Chain A
Amino acid sequence: MNLTLKVWRQKDANSKGEIVAYDVKDISEEMSFLEMLDVLNEKLVAEGDEPIAFDHDCREGICGACSLYINGEPHGPMNRTTTCQLHMRSFKDGETVFIEPWRAKAFPVIKDLMVDRSAFDRIIQAGGYVSVNTSGNTIDANAIPIPKEDADEAFDAATCIGCGACVAACKNASAMLFVSAKVSQLSLLPQGKVEAEERVKNMVEQMDHEGFGACTVTGACEAECPKGISLENISRMNREYLKATVSPGK
């Protein structure tokens, strides 16, 4: 199939960007979206142009590196699918495809389609862990049985890949889904409960500090999240936050 791509090009963080049109030909349905971009990049390099910069690594939907706002949707048209797992059979011959970077104040553009998501790392550094040393002197893994339901629910929250699509999807550029996924995972497990109150306060504080917007529960994040992280996590985090900030004696 042949497609017209309208791609955001931006030299670096300080330059102004613009949409540039490219034609790509003979694209096979079996290709992934990123392989289609590889084909275009090979052509650009051969012609002496600079290829389009985009983040990617695993190409298996798990590292969270790939991003791209495709035709107005983070990770494109397929539900619960990252851009690297999106295949060209989702597009029609002759279609025009718009490709832009994540747009959010807290995710500044580095170049073309690449953005800086280090704000997510700093939120985790603010408290997204259990304060246990790696000494090997921990208790036996089976000493505390954990109900399967809780373990499964914690796992579901823990499958967040930190891609940032939730932020890109949200009109307020809120990071609530991402933050609540980590808060939920750890607060559902006995190991994480001990410091649950400190954790949620610190992580929320860092999130606000990074310049993410407020959550108005539109649900756009859940709809676009490639891993199906549920809005229930946000409710749980709100409860945890309330507990941490208004409980007696605090």
Chain B
Amino acid sequence: MSVLDSKIPEGSIDKKWTNHKNHIRLVNPANKRSIDIIVVGTGLAGASAAASLAEMGYNVKAFCFQDSPRRAHSIAAQGGINAAKNYQNDGDSVYRLFYDTVKGGDYRSRESNVHRLAEVSADIIDQCVAQGVPFAREYGGLLDNRSFGGVQVSRTFYAKGQTGQQLLLGAYSALSRQISKGKVKMYNRHEMLDLVMVDDKARGIIARNLVTGKVERHAAHAVVLCTGGYGNVFFLSTNAMGSNVTAAWKAHKRGAFMANPCFTQIHPTCIPVSGDHQSKLTLMSESLRNDGRIWVPKKIEDAQAIREGRLKPTQLAEEDRDYYLERRYPSFGNLVPRDVASRAAKERCDAGFGVNATGQAVYLDFASAIERYGKEQASIHGMNNASKDEIIAMGKKVVEAKYGNLFEMYEKIKDQNPYETPMMIYPAVHYTMGGIWVDYNLMTTVKGCFACGEANFSDHGANRLGASALMQGLADGYFVLPYTIGDYLADDILTGKISTDQPAFEQAEKNVNDRLETLLSIQGSKTVDHFHKRLGKIMWDKCGMSRNAEGLKEAMVEIKALREEFWKDVKVPGSINGLNPELEKAGRVADFLELGELMCLDALTRNESCGGHFREEFQTSEGEAMRDDENFTFVSVFEYTGEPGEAVLHKEDLNYEAIEVKTRSYK
């Protein structure tokens, strides 16, 4: 038998969660008061988990590295959150959301988890509205929805282009309420630097107070990691600057297996790179593909003229444009899933049709939407003879109401007005489907260590559908973990307080201090960012949008060499005492330099193309991904053995009972 026990409950797919909740062990309210839980991370997953656990009666200690929980990376999510409410009466249902998510994930996710996610999705919306989250509404006062990629219903709830902000502020307010009651003790500007194991259980963490520099011990009966994704291993991504893998990686080294680490989502619509100085990339929400049409010139000489500034996109006649998504995928058109849209953009740019100076951009055009909405407005207002200018002006107003803040953001960065000229966009690293392996209870392979939100691998398979990460983070934190953690903690009601005066804490603290001292003592010749950028380039070139065996093997050798160079030649200024952002960065990049190698190993092992993982060797003659269900219908789960490139592969076989596995087609 595999070392992995996914603990999927018995019964038919739609009864599993209910049965499980009915039979799972509970901790009674009085006993909860004697149990401590550490929650690392206060994004959507962490803030909702910490608030819920505290409400149930546990004593919670929560940690984040920002100066306030309100600033977690979740705040930046733009487009929306899915839920199977079927308010639009367009045929949506729990089953359909479940089905879309499994299909969108290219049949590489665990069926039972995804079904549970779809089941609790509706509760999330009720919860958020009750908290005062101001979702967009229609004139009748009911909630509005829009559509996201890879689905044919409108099930996405949103708050302009700031859905993540509003949801996080909702979770933050629930967390704040518990902080004020003393049920959560909040540690801002603290970074977890190790997981502490006593016997074979997670019993605490080592964290550094980023202001004083002091390395501290914190004990608890269980540790919940809600530390987000690791897209910044690519240096440039749409993630916040501080997003990192450190907490997850430390847990990995303590025995938590990593699942599908190479499954990375490259988002098709981001603002293209403009130069070497670039520190991050900015997303233009997927919701824009509801109304924006993606194209490049049909003729290569027009593309060239545009690149050289001799031709403007608005001058190009309709018949000279190639709306390549509409051409290749007529039934989903511009709303194909992200992996498909990204690869199609790369294909056109590689073929020489790119439209910015570097040839790495395509257009996202709103002209037809502006005209369509303008005509609709004219009709609503009975303006039968509206002039073209009047129509366009009214259309712009509608588009502004829908996407105003995104257009503003684009204009600030590019100094171009997207109401007048099409946006230029290109794919960028955005999200990591891979992460810490968890069982149905969200427990990792380390007893007492749990993982929620983007940090775990659980629900999105090889490709995440838009608006599903927010849903998963809140589902895990509000509705799943608070129940499932009881099953583990039921054994701990008599344990009593965990002391930090134990050899395990002492040793872990010493390791952390030693490592920080080592980083400071190298005093080499190159900055942390120098190494981070080089790692990012290797990852993007060889483990990015398309991969091949040869490149991946090279990348593994290069990353290992880069890691050795880092530990000999990095320069970290300042001291361990007090605030030292360069030291923080150095620790994170050191972990990325290990993770990168594991990602390449995973990509190399998976001899198929699925979702965001595209292996050039495995494609159809039309350039579509070729999955190999016979040999690869499993989760790749890696055990750390001392060297990232020598991790041991375990397989969790995926069984599909409620869904028939098909070739994924959006044509």
User: Nearest chain-A residue to B144 (Cβ)?
Assistant: A148
Closest to A57 in B: B240
How far in angstroms is the closest Cβ of chain A from B70? 6
Considering only residues 102-146 of chain B, those with a C-beta below 8 Å from chain A are: 120, 123, 125-132, 134-143
**What 1/0 mask marks residues of chain B from 311 to 332 whose CB sits below 8 Å from any chain A CB?**
0000000000000000000000
Among B48-56, B193-201, B627-635, the one that faces the other chain is B48-56
Mask: chain A, 31-63; 1 = CB below 8 Å from B; 0 = not = 110110011001011101111010111111111
Q: Does A19 have its Cβ within 8 Å of any Cβ on chain B? A: no
Residues 237-295 of B contacting A (Cβ, < 8 Å): 240-242, 274-275, 277-280, 282-283
The answer, yes or no, to whether A248 is at the interface (CB within 8 Å) is no
Which of chain A's residues has its CB closest to B162's CB? A159
B309 to chain A, nearest CB (A): 16
Beyond contacts A63-B72, A132-B127: 8 other A-B pairs, Cβ-Cβ < 8 A, are A48-B571, A116-B67, A121-B70, A135-B55, A138-B126, A138-B130, A145-B140, A185-B132
Complex Cα gap A40–B277 (Å): 11
Closest 8 CB pairs of A and B: A145-B141, A129-B173, A155-B134, A138-B130, A125-B180, A141-B129, A63-B71, A154-B134
Which residues of A are found within 8 Å of B160, using beta-carbon distances? Answer: 155
Q: Do A186 and B132 touch across chains, with their CB atoms under 8 A apart?
A: yes
The proximity string for A residues 183-212 relative to B, scoring 1 for CB distances below 8 Å and 0 otherwise, is 001100101100000000000000000000
Residue of A nearest to B164 (CB): A62
Contacts of A122-156 to chain B: CB distance below 8 A: 124-126, 128-136, 138-142, 145-148, 151-152, 154-155
Listed in ascending order, the chain B residues whose CB lies under 8 Å from chain A are: 48, 51-52, 55, 66-73, 75-76, 85, 87, 120, 123, 125-132, 134-143, 159-160, 162, 164-166, 169, 172-174, 176-177, 179-180, 186, 188, 211, 240-242, 274-275, 277-280, 282-283, 409, 412-413, 415, 478-479, 482, 527, 529, 571, 573-574, 578-579, 581-582
Q: Which residues of A contact B412 (CB under 8 A)?
A: 61, 78, 81, 85, 87
Closest to A82 in B: B412
Q: What distance in Å separates the Cβ of A247 from its nearest Cβ neighbour in chain B?
A: 22
Known A28-B275, A57-B73; judge A12-B579 contact (CB<8 A).
yes
Cα A117 to Cα B127 with chains together (Å): 29
Provide the residues of chain A in CB contact with B179, threshold 8 Å: 121, 125
- A35 near B162 with CB under 8 A, answer no
Q: Does A18 contact B (CB under 8 A)?
A: no
- Contact between A118 and B127, CB atoms less than 8 A apart: no
Neighbouring A residues of B73 by C-beta, 8 Å: 57-58, 63
Once A35-B277, A129-B177 are accepted as A-B contacts, the answer to whether A57 and B66 lie under 8 Å apart by CB is yes
Most B CB atoms within 10 A — which of A42, A124, A135, A161? A124
**Known: A117-B67, A121-B70, A191-B131. Is A134-B174 also a contact (CB below 8 A)?**
yes
Return chain A residues, CB-CB under 8 Å to B574.
50
- Whether B132 pairs with A59 at a CB distance below 8 angstroms is no
Q: Is the CB of A53 within 8 A of B68?
A: no
Bound-state Cα–Cα, A28 to B71, Å: 29
- Is there contact, CB below 8 Å, between A45 and B76? no
Residues of chain B lying within 8 A (CB to CB) of residue A147: 137, 141
Contact A151 B274 (CB under 8 A): no
Nearest-neighbour CB distance to chain B for A98, whole angstroms, equals: 22
Q: How many Å lie between the Cα of A64 and that of B479 in the bound state?
A: 28
Max count, chain B CB within 10 A of own CB: residue among A60, A134, A136, A147: A134
Q: Give Cα distance in the complex from A51 to B585, angstroms.
A: 13
Bound CA–CA A237/B175 (angstroms): 24
A120 to B186, CA, bound (A): 14
Shortest Cβ gap from A16 to chain B (Å): 16
Q: Least Cβ distance of B454 to chain A in Å?
A: 15
A221 at the interface (CB under 8 A from B): no
A114 sits at the interface (CB 8 A): yes
Q: Is the CB of A130 within 8 A of B126?
A: no
Shortest distance in angstroms between B90's beta carbon and chain A's nearest beta carbon?
A: 15
Q: Which of A38, A45, A120, A135 contacts B277 (CB 8 A)?
A: A38
Q: Which residues of A contact B164 (CB under 8 A)?
A: 62
In the bound complex, what is the Cα–Cα distance between A139 and B125 (angstroms)? 10
B residues within 8 A CB of A154? 132, 134
Q: Looking at the complex, which one of B70, B128, B279 makes contact with A64 (CB distance below 8 Å)?
A: B70
- B130 and A51: CB pair below 8 A? no
Question: Could you tell me if B68 and A121 are in contact, using CB atoms closer than 8 angstroms?
Answer: yes
Contact present for B139 and A124 (CB under 8 Å): no
Least CB distance, B318 to chain A, in whole angstroms: 32
A51 touches B143 (CB 8 A): no
Task: For the complex, give the distance between the alpha carbons of A65 and B242 in Å.
Answer: 11
CB distance from B113 to the nearest CB of A (A): 18
Q: With a CB–CB cut-off of 8 A, which chain B residues contact A124?
A: 70, 172-173, 176
User: Which of A51, A56, A132, A136 has the most CB atoms of chain B within a 10 A radius of its CB?
Assistant: A136
**B contact residues around A126 at 8 Å (CB):** 180
The interface residues of chain A lying within 8 Å CB-to-CB of B69 are 121
Residues of B within 8 A of A97 (CB): none
Chain A residues, CB < 8 A from B211: 110
Can you identify 29 A-B contacts, CB atoms within 8 angstroms? A11-B578, A28-B275, A49-B573, A57-B73, A57-B242, A59-B280, A59-B282, A60-B409, A62-B75, A87-B412, A118-B67, A118-B188, A121-B68, A124-B173, A125-B176, A128-B173, A129-B173, A129-B176, A132-B130, A135-B55, A136-B127, A138-B126, A142-B143, A145-B137, A148-B137, A155-B166, A158-B134, A185-B132, A186-B132
Contact flag A133-B76 (CB < 8 Å), given A58-B240, A121-B68, A125-B180: no
Across the interface, do A136 and B71 meet the contact criterion of CB distance under 8 Å? no
Residues of A within 8 A of B188 (CB): 118, 121
The closest CB in chain B to the CB of A52 belongs to: B581
B573/A159 in contact, CB under 8 A = no
Distance in Å: Cβ of A62 to nearest Cβ of chain B: 5
CB distance from B166 to the nearest CB of A (A): 6
Contact in complex: B67, A51 (CB < 8 Å): no
